[in-house]
Amino acid sequence: MPFIHDPEFGDRMITLMAALVLVLQILAVGQRWLMGNIRIFGLQSFLLAAIAGTIAFFNHANHVYIVALLTLILKAVVLPLILARLVERVGIQKEIEPLINVPLSVLISGCLTMVGYVVAESFYHPEETSGVAALGRNTLAIAIALFLIGFFMLLNRRKALTQVLALLSMENGIFLAGISLTYGVPLVIELGIFFDVFVAVMVLAILVYRIGETFDSMDVSKLRRLRG
């Protein structure tokens, strides 16, 4: 299969997968079920791992393989499992109640994607990128869009667990930006970031559990006793 070694092919694959990641993010905005949301996050992380693997393959960057593998294990399998178990343990309403209704949310996500393109345009210099499979500006724009939509989701949701998912999808956006700009940061740092994200999810899971226990609800809009 000679076409596999063609950088052009790699380019297209990456762009295609990045586009799918964006589609999944917008699906997550419209998703009403918590479990569905967790699955979308897992799928998105799987695609990111695939993108990282593709980049590693075409640029012969061995350390990116490790990053891809870690993403696959940690973000596509372990974190979704932890979150799914948490949903069962807490066992309260699984439906997400966004503040802004779904059609409008999707529309806002579309606008944020455009913002991503405008921002990416302003500082991306493809002619200077040295890699074989130079990543299109699409990937960077999508990464920024992921970050912004994740932020919007965070503001738009009331349930503690769904906010955690939104935060994680923001992190996915940053990850995509990192690998599309510089093929990721040095491995030691990447490992540190993975470790921090993992610990953060554990800490958040404990907090979510205790909030659910103490307040009999995961609705963080009920957390408003501290003011002024």
Partner 1 sequence: MILLWLLIVPLAAGPLAFILRRRPAMEAVNLTAFAVVLCLAAALGVQVVQSGPVSLWDGFFYADALSALVVLLSAFIALICSIYAVGYFRQDERDGVFQADGEVIGALGAYKLRKFYSLTPVFVFAMVLVALANNLGMLWVAIEATTLTSVFLVTFYGTKTSLEAAWKYIMIGGVGLSMALFGTFLTYYSAHRIPGTETLAGLNWSVLAVNATQLDKPTMRLAFILILMGYGTKAGLAPMHTWKPDAYGEAPVPAAAIFSSALLNCALYALVRFYILANRCLGADYPGHLLLLFGMLSMGISVPFILVQRNFRRLLAYHTIDHAGIMVTALGVGGPLGALGLTLHMTFHTVAKSLLFLCAGSVYQHFKTDLFHKVKGGVIHVMPLTGTVFLMAILAIIGMPPFSLFQSEFVILRAAMAAGHYVPSVLFVVFSTGIFAGALVHVGGLILAPADAAPVVRWQPWRNLPLLILSAILVVIAFWIPPPLFRLIQGAAVIVASGPVVSAR
Residue 118 Cβ, how far from partner 1 at the closest point, in Å? 12
Q: CA-based angle 139:201:224, to the nearest 5? A: 105
How would you label 194-210 residue by residue, b for 16+ Cβ within 10 Å and e otherwise?
beebbeebeebbeebbe
Residue 13 makes contact with partner 1 by CB under 8 A: no
Q: Which residues contact 204 (CB under 8 A, 6 or more apart)?
A: 164, 167
Residue 23 Cβ, how far from partner 1 at the closest point, in Å? 22
Q: Which of 146, 179, 184 is nearest to 165 (CA)?
A: 146
User: CA–CA separation, 148 vs 185, rounded Å?
Assistant: 21
Given a contact cutoff of 8 angstroms between Cβ atoms, the answer to whether 145 and 115 are in contact is yes
Residue 3 Cβ, how far from partner 1 at the closest point, in Å? 29
Map the footprint of partner 1 across residues 92-131, applying CB under 8 A. Answer: 119, 122-123, 125, 128
Stretch of 12-20, 86-94, 97-105, 208-216 lying at the interface with partner 1 (CB under 8 A): 208-216
Stretch of 21-29, 74-82, 104-112, 167-175 lying at the interface with partner 1 (CB under 8 A): 167-175
Residue 132 makes contact with partner 1 by CB under 8 A: no
The residues of the shown chain that bind partner 1, judged by CB under 8 A, are 119, 122-123, 125, 128, 147, 151, 154, 160, 163, 167, 170-171, 174, 177-178, 181-182, 185-190, 192-193, 195-196, 199-200, 203-204, 207, 210-211, 214-215, 220, 223-226, 228
